[in-house]
Every structure is written in structure tokens, then in C-alpha cells.
Amino acid sequence: MIYLDNHSTTPVDPAVLDVMLPLMSEQYANAGSITHEAGRRVAELVGQAVADTAALIGASADELVVTSGATESNNLALFGACLHGRQKRRKVVSVVSEHKAVLDPLSRLARHGFDVVLVPVQSNDSDLPGGVDMQRLTESVDIDTALVSVMLANNEIGTIQPLKKIAAICRAAGCLLHTDATQAVGRIPVHVDELDVDLLSFSAHKFYGPKGVGGLFVRRRDRRVRLQPQIVGGGQQNNFRSGTLNTPGIVGMHAALKRSIAAAQPERQRHANLRNRLYEALAGIDGVSLNGPLLSAMTHEGELARLPGNLNCCFFPVEGQSLMLAAPELAVSSGSACTSAEPGPSHVLQAIGLSEEQGRSSLRFGVGRFNTESEIDQAAAWIAEGMHTLKKLR
Ligand SMILES: Cc1ncc(COP(=O)(O)O)c(C=O)c1O
């Protein structure tokens, strides 16, 4: 199998697994059992891992809530901030191309009586396909806005949003800013102060850590964010999120993030090279077009406009599902893995102006740490072959 679905998840790096295993075999005590030495030792280890993970994104230890992953982090951020007893504002502003782990909590907030505004994004033929419509965002955020939620990098077309500019709008309106940074953390530089965000979600399995563990940054230093806990019980993590700490997960998440950040610069270049190589091979096939920002696109501020390992192409009139069947040993995706319960065309591709048919004819590729040039060439050859066969059948 050739695995080019690294936006969906990444394999656990063997070095990360090595760090995790002792927490399952010898050091298995509950980090909450500080009545004995074994528990105290694990508590210290895990406390250090949390503090070090927080520091890697510019946060302090008491600003990081460990969760089961980005879905839970997003739920805690959105429900926690909006449903807090002292929250008087009744409006939430977000973007149409967000992940379902943001959109679905927002639908529930709308049922709770919140005014939820989803701002459109720029079309596929604009300067920044998938970039939030800043004028509409500015017009939508006002003194009744409790929270703005904008993802840092899109999981389907890789668009990187101008979070710093959005933060300035939020500061002026006195509202909170949450970002779902799940596809960004470990891949591009992420620092909570530079982005000036109040809440930031991430997930370890996107940066070669284990599944089932992630984090939510909750700002406490200069501005103190109030959150209503969503999981109550033993009062762990300052009551923000009860439940026995996932000790192997926390230690694994830290090792994975440390490794990813240390390797980030050369990895970004390598991933971009492999992704560009794949696109060059695919672009030679008649009818193939690019979804999302140009691969070389930079923002006006000279920053990357697209995640380096991300590629999304339309193979119209051939359906993405048929292409995947024609290349059974290639692991790619026809949308977001996390919305696989809904097999319809991608809401992100529709948001940038693609038709339902173009959406169904599109595939997402995510290049990662363990991909090689020969895999890229083989993947491109399988797709070219599949296109040739499927076009003949039409
Ligand atoms: C942008 C984004 N947000 C949230 C999630 C959900 O993450 P998790 O699987 O950790 O719950 C994903 C996973 O694909 C994602 O890409």
C-alpha cells in the first residue's frame, strides 16, 4: 500500500512508540494516585510532558487541557465558552469550510438560541481559494459576538487562514478567538501569542503521535478565558476536563510534537517537493485541475498560503470513488475521513465554487514523513492508468 492520506491520520513514529511503551508496562500507576511513590512518579512525568507540550506552542502548563483529540477540544472550546454562565453575548461567527467537528457543535449552539453566522470563503479562481472572506467576517463580528472560530489550515485544500488579522478584528470587538489548528500543529509554526488566539485545538495523531489524545489551549495569562467544563467527574485538570489522564498518550503526544517541530523546516521542504512532483505528474493527464491555492502561493505578508504536503485535484469527469477502486493499493481520500459517515460531495469544495460533480471527481492527497519519491511516482502512474481505463469505459 502507498499511504498518501496523512491529513486523515499519520502513523505513530517508532521513536514515539518507544517513549510510550513503558507507561503501559512498568509505569502504569494512575497520575492521580499521589498517595504512593509509583503514582507520584507518573504524575511528575506526565506533568512535565504537559508543560513541555504547552511550551512548544508558546503556552504555559496551566493553559493546556489534555483531551481525547481535536473533536473534543473543539466541543470544549465552543460549548465551554458559549454556555458559560457569565457569557452574555449570543452570537458566534465561523466559516463555511470548517471541519464538521466545529460545524456540528455550532448547529447545536444554534439550537440553544445562538445566532450562528457562517462566513463564505474565496472561490477556486481567486487569489486565495478557501481564504475567509475578510470583509464579510469584519461585517459579521460585533459587540454581541461571543466567539469567532476559524481553522488555521484546511484539512481538504490546505488553505492557511490569516489568523493574526482575524485576531485584530476579535480584539476590537472584545470577543474570543478559537482556532482549530489540527492540521497545522507540528506542520507549520504555531505560537499562541503570535497568532493572538484565546483557544486552540490540536490532535496528536496528525503529527505522528497516538490516536485518542489531543489538546486545547485555553488562554489564562493576559486574558482569562472562562470555560464551562463539558466532562465532569473527578476534577482532574483544574476541573476543565475530568477523567484519569491518558498517561501513555500524553507522553507520546509530547515526544511526537517535539520531534515534528524539530524536523519541521526540512520536512516542509521535502513534503512540498514530493507534493509538487505528484502534481506535475497528475497535471499532465488531460482534464486534471487543481483545487485550492496554487502550490507556490504566498500570502501578501509573505507567508505560506497552503499546507506543504497538501494536494487536492479534480479528475472530472472521472469520479474520485472510481479512481480509488481502480488504484486499490493507494490510500487517498475523497473528502475528510472524519465526515465519512456522510458520503456526499465535500462541503469545502462546494464552498470554493465547485459543482457537486466536480466535488465527486476530486481526490485529496496528503504527503507525510514516511513517503518516498518512488511512492509518489507509483501513485501518479496508478492514477494515470486508472484515468485512462475509466475514460475509455465512459
Ligand atoms: C481540521 C480538523 N479538525 C478536527 C479534526 C478531528 O480530529 P480528531 O480526530 O482528533 O478528533 C480533524 C481530523 O481530521 C481535522 O482535520
d(CA 378, CA 371): 11
Average pLDDT score over the chain = 95
At 46, the amino acid letter reads V
Say whether pLDDT at 339 is over 60. Answer: no
> In what helix (H) or strand (E) does residue 167 lie, and over which residues does it extend?
helix 163-173
Under 8 Å CB-to-CB from 341, ≥6 apart: which residues? none
Residues of the chain with pLDDT > 70, as a percent, come to 97
pLDDT at 343: 64
Question: 199-203 and 176-180: which strand pairing?
Answer: parallel
Q: Where are the domains of the chain?
A: 2-9+263-393, 14-256
Which residue among 170, 313, 314, 338 is the active-site one? 338
Grid cell digits, residue 149: 472560530
Pocket test for ligand 1, best of 74, 99, 178, 346 (most atoms within 8 A of CB): 99
**Of all helices (H) and strands (E), which one includes residue 320?**
helix 320-326
Our answer to whether residue 313 is catalytic in this structure is: no
Q: Which three cell numbers stand for residue 7?
A: 491529513
Bond preceding residue 105 cis, omega within 30 of 0: no
Enter the C-alpha cell of residue 65.
487541557
Tell me, in angstroms, the distance from the centre of ligand 1 to residue 140's CA: 26
Residue 342, pLDDT score: 59
State how far the Cα of 88 lies from the Cα of 97, in Å rounded to an integer. 27
Query: Which pLDDT belongs to residue 116?
Result: 98
Distance of alpha carbon 10 from alpha carbon 252, whole angstroms: 13
CATH 3.40.640.10 for domain 14-256: yes
Q: Report the DSSP pairing between strands 214-218 and 64-67.
A: antiparallel
Domain covering 2-9+263-393 in this structure, CATH number: 3.90.1150.10
Neighbours of 117 (CB within 10 A): 19
The set of residues, in sequence order, having a beta carbon less than 8 Å from that of 300 and lying 6+ positions away, is none
Summarize pLDDT for 295-322 with one digit per residue, the tens. Answer: 988 876 778 899 999 999 999 999 999 9
Centroid of ligand 1 to alpha carbon of 70 (angstroms)? 5
Average pLDDT (240-253) is 97
**Cα–Cα dist 155/261, whole Å:** 19
Q: Please state the atom number of ligand 1 nearest to the C-alpha of residue 337.
A: 14
Q: What is the pLDDT of residue 334?
A: 86
CB 357 within 8 A of CB 127: no
Using most ligand atoms within 8 A of CB, pick from 200, 338, 342 the residue to mutate for ligand 1. 338
In three-state secondary structure terms, 178 is strand
pLDDT for 6: 98
pLDDT at 335: 64
Give just the sign of the alpha carbon dihedral 380, 381, 382, 386.
positive
Query: Are 33 and 182 within 8 A, CB to CB?
Result: no
pLDDT classification of 341: cutoffs 50, 70, 90: low
9-30 per-position pLDDT tens digit: 999 999 999 999 999 999 999 9
Question: Could you tell me how far CA 318 lies from the centroid of its own chain?
Answer: 28
Please tell me the distance between residue 338's alpha carbon and the centre of ligand 1 in angstroms: 7
Mutate to test the pocket of ligand 1, among 73, 190, 206 (most ligand atoms within 8 A of CB): 206
- Band (pLDDT 50/70/90 cuts) for residue 287 is confident
pLDDT in tens, 116-172: 999 999 999 999 999 999 999 999 999 999 999 999 999 999 999 999 999 999 999
Q: Is the dihedral of CA 36, 39, 45, 50 positive or negative?
A: negative
CA distances to 66, 247, 248, 251, 329 from 254, rounded to whole Å, are 11, 11, 10, 5, 32
CATH topology identical between 2-9+263-393 and 14-256:
no
How many Å lie between the centroid of ligand 1 and the Cα of residue 227? 21
Name which of 94-98, 119-123, 231-235, 296-300 the model is least confident about: 296-300
Band (324; pLDDT cuts 50, 70, 90)? very high
Pocket of ligand 1 (CB under 6 A): 69-71, 99, 101, 151, 155, 180, 182-183, 203, 214, 336-338
- SS3 assignment, position 226: coil
What phi and psi values does residue 289 have, to the nearest 5 degrees?
-135, 165
User: Quick one: what percent of the chain has pLDDT higher than 90?
Assistant: 92
Please state the atom number of ligand 1 nearest to the C-alpha of residue 336.
Answer: 14
